[in-house]
């Protein structure tokens, strides 16, 4: 077992990545343009966006597309840049946010324009699942256009490393996971559980909470005033601590792609990461079943921990007309079926063409699972269950924990974060 302590070096990642932010935010005085903001710049993220951009440019030859993506997985840098722009009334024409509590924050702050007429014109109330529409509705109006559903609770594993460690199949429970991690650490040179930047540890935490508490217990954590000061949460955090002992030390400056790649390259046995990793593996040319395998993160089989990327129309968008043509593409069946197979996600629309996902064994299976009506749990890190204030408090608590390894303090801080709601 390796003991792991993180230093504050994690911040360095942000600074390097911020440097690649682009986009000038205005219409530059030239012809018509549309500025779209996201954080999809890296491996596996960019390909889907680029395919949409290509389609947009073909459909709208007179509009210049300005890709204002700010690098950094899960929007850690982008969201801060965006907040600054929204506060100073310099919004892009559309930005990518998460359906759920995160979006509600933007709506309450008055940053977003309602899209009710657009929803009616495009028939989106029929095309999208009701539960998803609820997550983008505020005071009876809808405020964004969901382009996909991602799954957060996926465990990626390397079949060769597992075989070398004598682990027959990906572990299904958290106890089995701990045994497998120990076997990998004893029998191989591989990293048992790969992680990257701090946010990937929060991502791991949500899967461990779900696996330990079950969907009902997990979902209750996000209800107003819910207590985290319980033996069940303490137990879940104890398991989290044990898992963290099997992660690598040098990872704080790496983003999610490096952690995922370590699995497909055979440098690591496991990585718990959202299914954007599936898009990345494809891009790397990694082969499913050979270079990587997947399963629900331990203890969570039958539950879909979901999140949804959704595009908005900010109040005061400089190029509203062009923004609407962008939203039209994002909302369309063709747009979603172009974007999602590359992104590693399934369409938000219910009328997508399954054949477009059949080239990827992962996507084919996850689409089937989604359509079979699994239990649902919302991802906290990716904006479904908590807004920005709560999420930042959790992030701070996880950051402190990575420095001092004090699980009781982590539990107390998480409880306080929940009580402040
Ligand atoms: C999530 C986002 C995904 C993917 C991931 C990694 O928050 O919803 O689309 O980009 O971050 O960056």
Mutational test site, ligand 1, from 50, 78, 276, 336, max ligand atoms within 8 Å of CB: 276
Pocket test for ligand 1, best of 14, 17, 38, 39 (most atoms within 8 A of CB): 39
Residue-wise pLDDT tens digits, 76-110? 999 999 999 999 999 999 999 999 999 999 999 99
Is the pLDDT reported for residue 396 higher than 50?
A: yes
Whole-prediction pTM? 0.94
Tell me, what's the pLDDT at 250?
74
Tell me the Ramachandran region of residue 98: left when phi exceeds 0, alpha when psi lies from -120 to 50, beta otherwise: beta
Q: How confident is the model at residue 325 (pLDDT cuts 50, 70, 90)?
A: very high
Residue 44: its pLDDT value, please?
Answer: 87
The pLDDT tens digits of the residues spanning 60-73 come to 999 999 999 999 99
- 204: Cβ–Cβ under 8 A, 6 or more apart, which residues? 193, 195, 240, 243, 272
- Distance CA(135)–CA(100), nearest Å, equals 5
Q: 1 CA to middle of ligand 1, Å?
A: 31
Percent of the chain with pLDDT over 90: 90
382 CB near ligand 1 (under 6 Å): yes
Atom 7 (ligand 1) nearest CA? 74
> Is residue 272 scored above 70 in pLDDT?
yes
Q: How confident is the model at residue 249 (pLDDT cuts 50, 70, 90)?
A: confident
Phi-psi region of 404 (alpha: psi -120 to 50; beta: other; left: phi over 0): alpha
The residue nearest atom 3 of ligand 1, judged by CA position, is 74
Q: Ligand 1 center to residue 72 CA distance, Å? A: 9
- 309 ligand 1 Cβ < 6 A: yes
CA distance 405 to 3: 10
The atom number, within ligand 1, closest to the CA of 309 reads: 8
**pLDDT score for 348:** 98
pLDDT given at position 30: 55
196, pLDDT greater than 70: yes
Task: Retrieve residue 30's tokens.
Answer: 């030239």
Please give the pLDDT value at position 421: 81
Closest C-alpha to ligand 1, atom 8: 309
Packing angle, helices 231-244 and 174-187, rounded to 10: 20
Mean pLDDT of the chain: 93
Predicted local confidence at residue 252, as pLDDT: 84
Which residue's CA is minimally distant from atom 10 of ligand 1? 74
Q: Is 73 in the pocket of ligand 1 (CB under 6 A)?
A: yes
What's the pLDDT score for residue 201?
Answer: 97
Residue 276 and residue 344 in contact, taking contact as beta carbons nearer than 8 Å: yes
Centre of ligand 1 to C-alpha 342, Å, is 13
Q: Which atom of ligand 1 is nearest to the CA of 45?
A: 10
Element (H, E) at 97: strand 94-98
**Beta carbon of 307 within 6 Å of any ligand 1 atom:** yes
Which residue's alpha carbon is at the smallest distance from atom 2 of ligand 1? Answer: 74
Write the residue with the smallest CA distance to atom 11 of ligand 1. 74
CB 351 within 8 A of CB 123: no
Would the CB of 74 count as within 6 Å of ligand 1? Answer: yes
Residue 32's pLDDT band, with cuts at 50, 70 and 90, is: very high
What's the 407 CA to ligand 1 centre distance in angstroms? 27
Residue nearest to atom 4 of ligand 1 (CA): 74
Ligand 1: atom nearest CA of 74 is: 11
Cα-to-centroid distance, 31 and ligand 1 (Å)? 32
Atom 1 of ligand 1: nearest residue by CA position: 74
Report angle CA 337, 360, 150 to the nearest 5 degrees.
60
Task: Flag whether pLDDT at 377 surpasses 90.
Answer: yes
List the domains of the chain with CATH numbers: 20-147+311-364 (3.40.190.10), 154-299+387-419 (3.40.190.10)
SS3 of 40-73:
CCCCCCHHHHHHHHHHHHHHCCCCEEEECCCCCH
Please tell me the distance between residue 98's alpha carbon and the centre of ligand 1 in angstroms.
9
Asked whether 391 lines ligand 1 (CB < 6 A), one says no
Nearest to 150 by CA among 297, 278, 46: 278
Instruction: Provide the pLDDT for residue 309.
Output: 98
Whether the per-residue pLDDT at 5 is higher than 80: the answer is: no
- The finding on whether 150 has its CB within 6 A of some atom of ligand 1 is yes
β-strand pairing of 268-272 with 191-193? parallel
Give the ligand 1 atom nearest the CA of 72: 12
Task: Express each pLDDT in 336-360 by its tens digit.
Answer: 999 999 999 999 999 989 999 999 9
Distance 167 CA to ligand 1 centre (A): 30
Q: How far apart are CA 277 and CA 261, in angstroms?
A: 9
Mind listing the pLDDT tens digit for each residue in 199-218? 999 999 999 999 999 999 99
Task: Give the pLDDT band (50/70/90) at residue 2.
Answer: very low
Which pLDDT tens digit goes with each residue over 137-170?
999 999 999 999 999 999 999 999 999 999 999 9
How many C-beta atoms lie closer than 10 Å to residue 189's C-beta?
Answer: 10
Q: Are 45 and 279 in contact (CB under 8 A)?
A: yes
Residue 36 has pLDDT above 70, yes or no: yes
Q: Does residue 253 surpass a pLDDT of 90?
A: no
């Amino acid at each position: 077992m390796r003991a792991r302590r993180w230093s504050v070096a994690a911040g360095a990642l942000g600074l390097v990545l911020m440097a690649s932010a682009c986009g000038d935010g205005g219409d530059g005085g030239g012809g018509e343009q549309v500025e779209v903001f996201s954080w999809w710049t890296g491996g596996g993220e960019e390909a889907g966006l680029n395919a949409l951009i290509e389609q947009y440019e073909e459909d709208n030859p007179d509009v210049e597309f300005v890709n204002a993506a700010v690098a950094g997985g899960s929007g850690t840098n982008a969201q801060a840049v965006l907040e600054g722009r929204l506060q100073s009334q310099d919004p892009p024409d559309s930005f990518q946010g998460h359906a759920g509590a995160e979006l509600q924050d933007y709506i309450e702050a008055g940053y977003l324009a309602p899209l009710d007429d657009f929803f009616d014109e495009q028939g989106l109330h029929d095309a999208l699942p009701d539960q998803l529409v609820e997550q983008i509705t505020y005071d009876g109006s809808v405020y964004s256009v969901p382009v996909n559903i991602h799954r957060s609770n996926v465990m990626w594993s390397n079949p060769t490393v597992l075989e070398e460690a004598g682990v027959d199949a990906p572990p299904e429970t958290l106890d089995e996971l701990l045994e497998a991690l120990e076997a990998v650490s004893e029998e191989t040179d591989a990293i048992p559980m790969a992680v990257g930047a701090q946010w990937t540890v929060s991502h791991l935490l949500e899967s461990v909470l779900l696996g330990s508490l079950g969907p009902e217990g997990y979902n209750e954590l996000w209800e107003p005033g819910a207590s985290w000061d319980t033996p069940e949460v303490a137990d879940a955090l104890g398991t989290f601590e044990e898992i963290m002992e099997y992660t690598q030390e040098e990872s704080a400056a790496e983003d999610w792609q490096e952690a995922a790649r370590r699995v497909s390259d055979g440098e690591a046995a496991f990585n718990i990461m959202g299914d954007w990793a599936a898009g990345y593996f494809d891009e790397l040319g990694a082969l499913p079943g050979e270079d990587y395998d997947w399963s629900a993160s331990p203890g969570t089989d039958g539950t879909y921990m979901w999140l949804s990327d959704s595009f908005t129309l900010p109040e005061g968008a400089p190029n509203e007309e062009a923004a609407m043509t962008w939203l039209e593409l994002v909302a369309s069946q063709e747009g979603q079926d172009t974007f999602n197979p590359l992104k590693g996600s399934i369409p938000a629309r219910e009328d997508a063409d399954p054949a477009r996902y059949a080239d990827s064994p992962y996507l084919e299976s996850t689409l089937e699972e989604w359509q079979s009506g699994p239990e649902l749990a919302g991802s906290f890190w990716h904006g479904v269950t908590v807004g920005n204030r709560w999420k930042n408090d959790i992030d701070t608590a996880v950051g402190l924990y990575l420095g001092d390894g004090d699980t009781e303090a982590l539990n107390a801080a998480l409880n306080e974060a929940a009580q402040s709601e």
